[in-house]
Every structure is written in structure tokens, then in C-alpha cells.
Amino acid sequence: MIRAQQELLAALGDALAELAPEQPPVAAFESPKQAAHGDLAITSAMQLAKPLKRNPRELAQALIDALQRREAVQRWVAALEIAGPGFINLRLKDSTRQQIVAEVLAAGTEFGRQPAATERALVEFVSANPTGPLHVGHGRQAALGDAICKLFETQGWQVTREFYYNDAGVQIGTLAASTQARLQGLKPGDAGWPESAYNGDYIADIAADFLAKKTVKADDREFTASGDPADLDGIRQFAVAYLRHEQDLDLQAFGVRFDHYFLESSLYATGRVDATVGKLVAAGKTFEDGGALWLRTTDYGDDKDRVMKKSDGSYTYFVPDVAYHVNKWERGYHKVINIQGSDHHGTIARVRAGLQAADVGIPSGYPDYVLHKMVTVMRGGEEVKISKRAGSYVTLRDLIDWTGKDAVRFFLISRKADTEFVFDVDLALKKNDENPVYYVQYAHARICSVIVQWREQQAGDPATLAQADLARLVAPTEAALMLKLAAYPVMLSGAADTLAPHDVAFYLRDLAGAFHSYYAAERFLTDDPALSRARLALLAATAQVLRNGLAVLGVSAPDRM
């Protein structure tokens, strides 16, 4: 059916070019709002009516006439019908729909994936400074970033996952001072406790391990504590390594990995920040005022010019970001996606302005951004605001411990990134169709159960499903399920193009719904072995697509629940 869709799309493009040779609209099919209206819908006649100054129903008939002359339409289509003001409803032949079952079973885990290509993408996400445990906002970034990486991989891209963090700024100094205060016997609330200190229990844990002269190892560093409370630099290095290790454990529990860690301090140590500023000055895009160095970001659409270098000689925070993205470009990553919180919105114009002003060949829309809003956690009908371990916020580890990795992953991806999200812990624990991740996983487990029953009761052999007589699949619920399977590859490519992993979650819920409707309407273990085998083939194909889609989200597909 994938071939049929491709050929029908090409036929529609040819027919539209025949009707409007000077400016044909883009060929596209839509899904009818009601299954009774057909399998695919075409709205092109209404789009063409105004520019061609013709009646849309008249144009629809002309488009049908042009389509019916195409070989692909004759091969794959049963009927074309005009509806309403000029819609065209297209009904596929039963044999066209049935092909999708064989295609899914033949492709297996590769169904929906495109061949490997040479395109490279770098996705930067999480990027948490090592000053405390990962919070639920980091969790949303991790779920979004990893899913976007997996989406691009389904389209054949070579993807690098990168974690960027500040290992030497003011916050790191606060971390070291907080740990040193604990080493000196102070705790939150004591008279000598630093006002800006971090108050979570994790600071006491770091201090205890530092006194014990322990060695901590993270993915990108290792350090052994001296045990000396006066060793502030050693405390700083140990605390950073300790928290990087903790973050690694959180990410491992969440099933997220990174290919590369990039340190902000390296941009200064290698001279990249100074070199980038030098490029901007040489390009004539800066000016001095009030003892500070400014960048003319208004030349690139910003609402006002921005300070780059303050009067005290320090750089503002967006300057190393510009240097960092020049570095990404120089490493050959011409497709770069940053997953960040919505509080970074103001940074976008400044970074892009800096990149344009540097005049190193970077296009104006570089990099791409996905900004996410924060997550509110509800438990027992009340908002949860703090974690004893973190001191002031709910951690990613808390959510995983309360509900499990799969629920956290699915829930945090199930809404558009730029919408507020309420994570309902009680809902995530429900075992019914109110819980979306349970609803989808249960569909897979239910199919596995039916296949086991078929093997045990009828000695069915899954290896024979590829040879099933698919012509037996003519029930309305079967047609709906097969159409939903056929939509998977197009959905994947669209979700990758628009950086919208929530589309995968929406699709999986719809696919699970189509299966559950089928399960309620038909019997699978019948007295007709050929019919049973055909229906089991459709179930096996559905399970395969559920597994493939859940894998994109980093969620498991259990065989039983």
C-alpha cells in the first residue's frame, strides 16, 4: 500500500498540473473525518476554484476525470466521489489496503524507516549545569530530545546527541561554597549558612563522600577527593564530578545516552570566545558605550542592541553561545537543533544575530530551537513542589520512582513542547484506558496474548502469517486498522520535519484505538483457519507498528500486562 500511496500521489500531482499548468497546488491527500466518506480525501478543487474562477464542484469533476485516466488510479482505486462544496472522497480497492499487512510483516523493525543517508544532525538537549539533581523540566527535555533524535534516525540521518554545560560559572562557585559550609558543620538555617547556598540533602551527601576521600566517575570526568575542608578547588571539582555522575545515573534510568559532552569552559580555554568576538569587531558589527562592548543585534531583527562585554571585562551569557554555535558549524553540523526551556526565548534572536554578524557562512535560521514549557506535578490531587533530596523542586528520579520510565517518557512527549503540561502521577499509575501509555502498551500485550492462544489452541505458526490470504480482510474495522498502519511512514517523516514527537504519541493512541475497536468487533480464533490466519497477520502487523512507534519514544512494548 505504500507503493500505492506514492503512485496515487504522483497521479494527483499530474492531474493537478493538467488542470492548472501555470500554478498547480501541492498534491496532498487528507484523512476523511468519517470513515464512511472513504479512505482518502482531496480538497484541491476548492483551493483552485478562486484562482481559476471556476465552480469548485465543476473543478472536482474535471479533476476526477483527469485522475481516472491515470494508470495508478485504475489499479488502486475503487471509486472517486464528489461531496459537499467540492471535496473528492477516494475509496481504495480492498486489495490495495490489504497490501500493507504484507509490507509491515516483510519490513519488521525497518517499517517506516528511510535508507541511511549522508545528512548529519546535532541535537543538543538537557544541558543541565552540574549544580543539583535533574528536575522534571530536564526530564521533558530528555524525552523530547531523545525522541527527536530517534525520529531523525528513522529518516536516515546520522545523529549526534550533545550535552553542553557550564562547569566554571557563578553557580559552580555557589555549589563549592555550599559543600564547604556542610564540611564545616553548617546546615540550612544556621547563622553562618551562606544566603545563596543550595539547601538540598544532596549537598550533605557530597560533603560526606568528600570527607571519606571517595573517587567519583562520570561519563566525562573522574576525581578523587582530598578530604580537606579547606581545599575549595578540590571541593569544586569533586562536587561537579559527583553531580555529573548523579545526572548520568538519572539519564541511564531514563534510557537516554549522549555521544558528546561539551564544556563551556573549553570555549574560553581554547580562545574560541575571544576569536568570535574578534570576528564581530572586525565585521564592524560592534560599538562601545558606557565602557561596555555592544553588538548591533537590531541589524538582525532584535528589539534592541545587546551588551557583549561588560565594563568589568566579563562576557554576557549569550557570547559563549555564539562561539559554541560557530564551533558546531565548523564541526560540519549544518542541521542543529537545541531543546531548551521557554525561558531561553530571548536568547534566540541574540545568538542568531551573533552568528549572522560573524559572517562565517551560517544561514539566518540557524540553529533550530524547540522550546518547552515547564511541568506541573500533581499527586493525590495536589501539586507537588519540592523534593527532600533536591530541596526546592521535584526531580526526574522522583517521577521515575513513582511511576516508571515508560510512563514518564510517554507522558512528557504526549503534548506539544510549547504547551503547559500537568503530570498526574495518579493517572500514570492507572491500569485502564484513561492512562494513555497503558492504553497503547495494553494493545500490544493483548495482541501478543491472542497470538499465544492461536499457537496453543490451533497450533498456529507465526512463520506462516506472511503467506496468509489477506483477501479475507474486508470488515470495516479491518479496513480502518489497515489504513492506520499505512499512515505510519508519512506520520514519521512529518513528525521529523516539524520537530513534533508528540505526533508519534497521538498516532499510537489512534492505532491502539483502531485495534481495540477491531478486537471488540471481530473474533480471531474462528472455525475457518484461513480467516484466522489472515486476522492474525493483521494483528501481528499492528503489534509490529506499535513496537516501532513506541521505540521512537523510548517506551517498551510489553508482551503481557
Where in the chain are the domains?
2-92, 120-168+261-279+318-372, 170-260, 377-429, 433-553
Q: Write out the chain's pLDDT in tens, 561 residues.
A: 788 889 999 999 999 999 888 888 888 898 887 877 888 999 999 889 888 888 999 999 999 999 999 999 999 999 999 998 999 999 999 999 999 999 999 999 999 999 999 999 999 999 999 999 999 999 999 999 999 999 999 999 999 999 999 887 889 999 999 999 999 999 999 999 999 999 889 999 999 999 999 999 999 999 999 999 999 999 999 999 999 999 999 999 999 999 999 999 999 999 999 999 999 999 999 999 999 999 999 999 888 999 999 999 989 989 999 999 999 999 999 999 999 999 888 889 999 999 999 999 999 999 999 999 999 999 999 999 876 666 678 899 999 999 999 999 999 999 999 999 999 999 999 999 999 999 999 999 999 999 999 999 988 899 999 999 999 999 999 999 999 999 999 999 999 999 999 999 999 999 999 999 999 999 999 999 999 999 999 999 999 999 999 999 999 999 999
Helices (H), 418-501: 425-429, 436-458, 476-486, 488-497
530-535 own/partner pairs: CB under 8 Å, 24+ apart: 530/468, 530/469, 530/472, 531/472, 532/454, 532/458, 532/460, 533/460, 533/464, 533/465, 533/468, 533/469, 534/468, 534/469, 534/470, 534/471, 534/472, 534/473, 535/472, 535/473, 535/478
| Fold of the domain spanning 433-553 | Isoleucyl-tRNA Synthetase; Domain 1 (1.10.730)
* Cα distance between residue 261 and residue 263, in whole Å: 7
Q: Cα separations (Å) of 213 from 167, 324, 408, 441, 552?
A: 21, 35, 36, 46, 42
| Fold of the domain spanning 2-92 | Gyrase A; domain 2 (3.30.1360)
Angle, alpha carbons 520-525-528 (nearest 5°): 120
- 8 A C-beta contact, residue 444 and residue 62: no
| pTM, rounded to two decimals | 0.91
- 8 A C-beta contact, residue 298 and residue 305: yes
* Cα distance between residue 382 and residue 361, in whole Å: 51
What is the dihedral angle through the alpha carbons of 201, 206, 207, 211, rounded to the nearest 10 degrees? 140
| 461-509 pLDDT, tens digit each | 999 999 999 999 999 999 999 999 999 999 999 999 999 999 999 999 9
Q: What is the DSSP letter of 359?
A: T
437 C-beta neighbours (distance < 10 Å), count:
26
* Cα distance between residue 467 and residue 69, in whole Å: 33
30-33 own/partner pairs: CB under 8 Å, 24+ apart: 31/487, 32/89
Q: Cα separations (Å) of 318 from 276, 285, 338?
A: 12, 15, 14
What pLDDT is attached to residue 387? 66
- Phi, psi at 288, each rounded to 5°: -105, 140
Q: 336-341 and 375-379: which strand pairing?
A: unpaired
| 294-336 pLDDT, tens digit each | 999 999 988 899 999 999 998 998 999 999 999 999 999 999 9
| Whether the bond into 320 is cis, omega within 30 of 0 | no
Helices (H) and strands (E) in the chain, counts: 21, 16
What pLDDT is attached to residue 214? 98
- Amino acid type, 153: E
6 C-beta neighbours (distance < 10 Å), count:
12
Domain with residues 120-168+261-279+318-372, CATH architecture:
3-Layer(aba) Sandwich (3.40)
What pLDDT is attached to residue 1? 76
- Contacting residues for 249 by C-beta, under 8 A, at least 6 apart: none
What pLDDT is attached to residue 331? 96
What pLDDT is attached to residue 388? 62
